[in-house]
Amino acid sequence: MPGTMTLAVPSIGAGGLEGERSGHFGRCDTFTLVELGADSILGVRVIENPPHEEGGCLRPVELLASHGVNALVVAGMGARPLAGFRDVGIDVYFEDVTPGIGDVIARLLNGEVGPMDDRFVCGGH
């Protein structure tokens, strides 16, 4: 992974590297934002996710873009928010096996997580 990246992971509760990833990105409690260097973690911060009703499934797109996020790892998402992230230049990665946020980050750094494509899109969003 060249350069630096600000990666978001939908999180349950307080989030952080020791936290658990949320399976539903739009309704997660928080987003854990991780500053990544070429092969290491440079910093971690957590931001609250507003209620889903405030802006619907595109609200996280605006929120994460406003915090300088340029990549996101999810266990699934609908076609509408996926298109929204693509429109603002945020790369979306798909990983649906590893619940621990730190473990998800490690898998990404090791090149074990690939980009989300349309076959992983959830219906109804």
- pLDDT for position 26: 80
- pLDDT for position 123: 58
CATH topology of domain 5-120: Nucleotidyltransferase; domain 5 (3.30.420)
Q: What is the pLDDT of residues 14-58, one digit of tens each?
A: 999 999 999 888 889 999 999 998 878 999 999 999 876 655 678
Tell me how crowded residue 76 is: count the other CB atoms within 10 A of its CB. 15
Q: Using CA of residue 76, residue 82, residue 88, residue 91, what is the dihedral sign?
A: positive
- pLDDT for position 125: 43
Q: Which helix (H) or strand (E) holds 102?
A: helix 101-109
**pLDDT higher than threshold 70 for residue 118:** yes
**Cβ pair 68, 89 in contact under 8 A:** no
* Residue-range domain boundaries for the chain: 5-120
Tell me how crowded residue 79 is: count the other CB atoms within 10 A of its CB. 14
- pLDDT for position 101: 97
- Beta strands of 12-113 (E only): which ranges? 30-36, 41-48, 71-74, 77-78, 91-94
